[in-house]
A and B are shown apart, each in its own frame.
Chain A
Amino acid sequence: MNKDIYILGIETSCDETAASVVKNGTEIISNVVASQIESHKRFGGVVPEIASRHHVEQITLVIEEALQLAGLEPHQLDAVAVTEGPGLVGALLIGVNAAKAFAFAHQLPLVGVHHIAGHIYANRLEQEMEFPLLALVISGGHTELIYMKEHGDFTVIGETRDDAAGEAYDKVARTLDLPYPGGPHIDRLAHAGEEAITFPRIWLEEGSYDFSFSGLKSSVLNYMHNAAQRGEKVVPEQVAAGFQNSVVEVVTGKTVRAAKEYKVRQVIAAGGVAANKGLRKSLETAFQELELPFYIPSLPLCTDNAAMIAAAGTVMYEKGLFGTMAMNGRPGMPLTSWI
């Protein structure tokens, strides 16, 4: 029997200050998230400088709470894993420097984790991964389809060419005067049962697994603008349903086609937009028909958290992929395989 591995995860890539302890890459021992959402609401979106300021205020409190809830002392940890990128640079480097200082103080190995790898490995905290696997990562900053042959082997087969899905949700929400973050509000309005307006489906060229949401967003904006010019009343529920239908149909369509072509044994979704009820239902129905195992992590693991960073970091730790004191926040970090 091998010794258990305990990893401290730290995540500060956007507007959540998070720390967590995960055992063996699969079991959450503690998971602490300090959200800044209330502070950013008044600005209608995340203000990077303010996000960084909040991270400094919260960072040691959050790490301490994660260790206390886990009932562990630093010397009982095997390593510290931290989000190295991508994300907001000023935000990332709070987590990175705290992780470096903590690792240095206790002479622990340091592991730098890609944020998207983290989102994918959030699934492993609830359901063991089976390969080959297809992951749909869909959030405020990302929309990607990733094929995995085995642990740590990532091939991006499709990604957004402009806005991330969650970004489009937030922008459409703003035009409908919905509060930030807009995604959940659109999802709620879309389920009000109103007849949906038809907006275009952006499939891009045949066979492509890439996404584009800025055209759809513009269509919604045009519709609102034209209605206003004609003095017509816009029914927000109809706009929300129409926009969501378009996103859901394209995302489901591409994910299903990729799953078939790559003959995967498991499909997983991750990221904040994976919590969207409309998308969730559509994907679940599609993969049920295909009799293909499909999983979405529970809500707290869909949004940004540090347990997912510790989970991914555990696999990197087992592969001996360690960072140094010269680690830096990498806002544009590419997702590369751990080989």
Chain B
Amino acid sequence: MIYLGIDTSNSPLSIALIEDERVLIEETSNLKINHSLTAMPAIEEMMKKAKITPAELTHIAVAEGPGSYTGVRIGLTIAKTLAWSLKIPLHLVSSLKVLAANGQGFEGLVCPIMDARRGTAFIGLYEGVGLIPVFADQHSDVREFLLKIKELNQPVLFTGVDAKFHEALITEVLGEQARWSEVSNRLPRASNLIMLARKSEESVVHHAVPEYRRITEAEANYNKAQEGKSV
């Protein structure tokens, strides 16, 4: 069993190969480079280094979002095309759950966060032990989400490269409740993604689409206009 894992859902890129119980290779970078340009060359290079041919892959795992729309689509397009053309199973895992896996084992809650501008974020909340979702992954106003967390009155570990971006607000709302993952523990890791994928069911490849967790601006405006009409 050889899994290829791909996470391009935010600015970092993480890819990995796991053969049975052995991580063969994992490469994670945070250089804000274009995934469309670099993801496939990185996969090609990594597989060459590990001496694994495409035909030897048995499973593909990919971060399905939420996150950067374009980023998520690149990973998903590569993953579903590989899985379909190699006729092997595809597994989709929440990008936020992949980040939450950085806090796996934390006795409390883990909050993965990806900035989505204008005081909003793609954000989720998981139990550190077992990574069970407490709140569903969502696109939310950051302050509103933090206020909901506050009521739970438990320590919360923040993770993700964008966590520091909201540090002031998080500290203001949660004070001592907020904990911070180490800088070295804020990037998504494709090896974690694969381990989560191994516990997940396979997806129907042709129907695999990103979890955007947000409708497009055009659709939101259109829906608003339609509501206006019906009133």
A107 at the interface (CB under 8 A from B): yes
Contacting A at CB under 8 A, from B32-88, are 34, 36-41, 43-44, 54, 69-70, 73-74, 76-82, 84-86
Report the Cα distance A258→B27, complex, angstroms: 55
B209 at the interface (CB under 8 A from A): yes
Report the Cα distance A305→B205, complex, angstroms: 24
Contacts of B1 in A (CB 8 A): none
- A interface, by DSSP: helix, strand, loop or mixed? helix
Closest to A64 in B: B84
Say whether, besides A104-B54, A329-B36, A59 and B81 are in contact (CB < 8 Å). Answer: yes
A192 at the interface (CB under 8 A from B): no
Contacts of A96 in B (CB 8 A): 36
Closest Cβ–Cβ distance, residue A304 to chain B (whole Å): 19
Report the Cα distance A63→B84, complex, angstroms: 10
B216 at the interface (CB under 8 A from A): yes
A97 at the interface (CB under 8 A from B): yes
Whether the Cβ atoms of A93 and B36 lie closer than 8 Å is: yes
B219 at the interface (CB under 8 A from A): yes
B residues contacting the other copy or chain, number (CB 8 A): 35
Whether the Cβ atoms of A104 and B44 lie closer than 8 Å is: yes
Q: Which of A90, A104, A107 contacts B82 (CB 8 A)?
A: A104
Report the Cα distance A43→B40, complex, angstroms: 34
Say whether, besides A59-B77, A101-B85, A326 and B54 are in contact (CB < 8 Å). Answer: no
Closest Cβ–Cβ distance, residue B32 to chain A (whole Å): 15
Q: Which of B36, B84, B209, B216 contacts A328 (CB 8 A)?
A: B36
Q: Which of the segments A46-54, A164-172, A182-190, A265-273 contacts the partner chain?
A: A46-54
Closest Cβ–Cβ distance, residue B204 to chain A (whole Å): 11
Whether the Cβ atoms of B38 and A326 lie closer than 8 Å is: yes
- Select the residue from B207, B209, B212, B218 with max chain A CB neighbours within 10 A: B218
Contacts of B70 in A (CB 8 A): 52, 90, 93
Chain B 77-110 per-residue mask, 1 if CB under 8 angstroms from chain A, else 0: 1111110111000000000000000000000000
Contacts of A49 in B (CB 8 A): 69, 216-218
Whether the Cβ atoms of B82 and A101 lie closer than 8 Å is: yes
B117 at the interface (CB under 8 A from A): no
Contacts of B69 in A (CB 8 A): 49, 52, 90
Closest Cβ–Cβ distance, residue B220 to chain A (whole Å): 11
Report the Cα distance A329→B37, complex, angstroms: 8
Contacts of B36 in A (CB 8 A): 93, 96-97, 328-329
Whether the Cβ atoms of B84 and A104 lie closer than 8 Å is: no
Say whether, besides A93-B74, A97-B77, A326-B41, A60 and B218 are in contact (CB < 8 Å). Answer: no
Report the Cα distance A61→B77, complex, angstroms: 12
Whether the Cβ atoms of B206 and A325 lie closer than 8 Å is: no
Report the Cα distance A325→B41, complex, angstroms: 5
B222 at the interface (CB under 8 A from A): yes
Q: Which of A50, A97, A106 contacts B78 (CB 8 A)?
A: A97
B112 at the interface (CB under 8 A from A): no
Report the Cα distance A198→B216, complex, angstroms: 42
Report the Cα distance A98→B69, complex, angstroms: 16
Contacts of A53 in B (CB 8 A): 73, 209-210, 212, 216
Whether the Cβ atoms of A101 and B73 lie closer than 8 Å is: no
Contacts of B212 in A (CB 8 A): 53
Contacting A at CB under 8 A, from B182-231, are 205-207, 209-210, 212, 216-219, 222
Say whether, besides A57-B209, A93-B70, A96-B36, A43 and B222 are in contact (CB < 8 Å). Answer: yes
Closest Cβ–Cβ distance, residue B226 to chain A (whole Å): 9
A68 at the interface (CB under 8 A from B): no
Q: Which of A50, A325, A326, A329 contacts B218 (CB 8 A)?
A: A50
Contacting B at CB under 8 A, from A80-120, are 90, 93-94, 96-98, 100-102, 104-107
A-B residue pairs in contact (CB < 8 Å), sample of 15: A47-B216, A50-B218, A52-B69, A53-B209, A60-B205, A74-B85, A93-B77, A97-B39, A98-B77, A98-B81, A104-B54, A105-B54, A105-B82, A326-B37, A326-B40
Shortest 6 CB-CB distances between A and B: which pairs? A101-B81, A325-B40, A47-B218, A93-B36, A105-B85, A328-B37
Given pairs A42-B222, A61-B206, A325-B44, 5 additional interface contacts (CB within 8 A): A47-B216, A63-B84, A100-B78, A326-B40, A328-B36
